[in-house]
Amino acid sequence: MRAHHTKNKGDLGVMYAQLDLARRGYTVLLPLTEHAEFDLVAYKDHRFLRVQVKYRTAKNGCVELRLATFWADRHGIHASPIDRTAVDLFCIYCPDTDRCYYVDSRDCPRQLFLRVQPARSSQQKGIRWGRDYEDIPATSTGMRARDRAELEPLSPIRQIVRYQRPGLAS
Domain boundaries, the chain: 5-162
Q: Measured between alpha carbons, how far is 130 from 121 in angstroms, rounded to an integer?
A: 18
If you average pLDDT over residues 83-99, what whole number do you get?
A: 93
HSE-CB for 63 with a 13 A CA cutoff: 27
72 burial via Cβ count (<10 Å: 0-12, 13-18, 19+)? exposed
Instruction: Identify the helix (H) or strand (E) that includes residue 20.
Output: helix 5-23
Q: Where are the beta strands (DSSP E) in 6-139?
A: 27-29, 40-44, 47-55, 62-66, 68-73, 76-81, 89-94, 99-104, 111-115
Confidence of residue 164 (pLDDT cuts 50, 70, 90): low
> Domain 5-162 falls in which CATH fold?
Trna Endonuclease; Chain: A, domain 1 (3.40.1350)
- 99-104 and 68-73 beta bridge pairing: unpaired
93-152: pLDDT as tens digits: 999 999 999 999 888 788 889 988 887 777 777 788 899 999 998 877 676 665 545 545
Q: What percent of the chain has pLDDT over 90?
A: 45
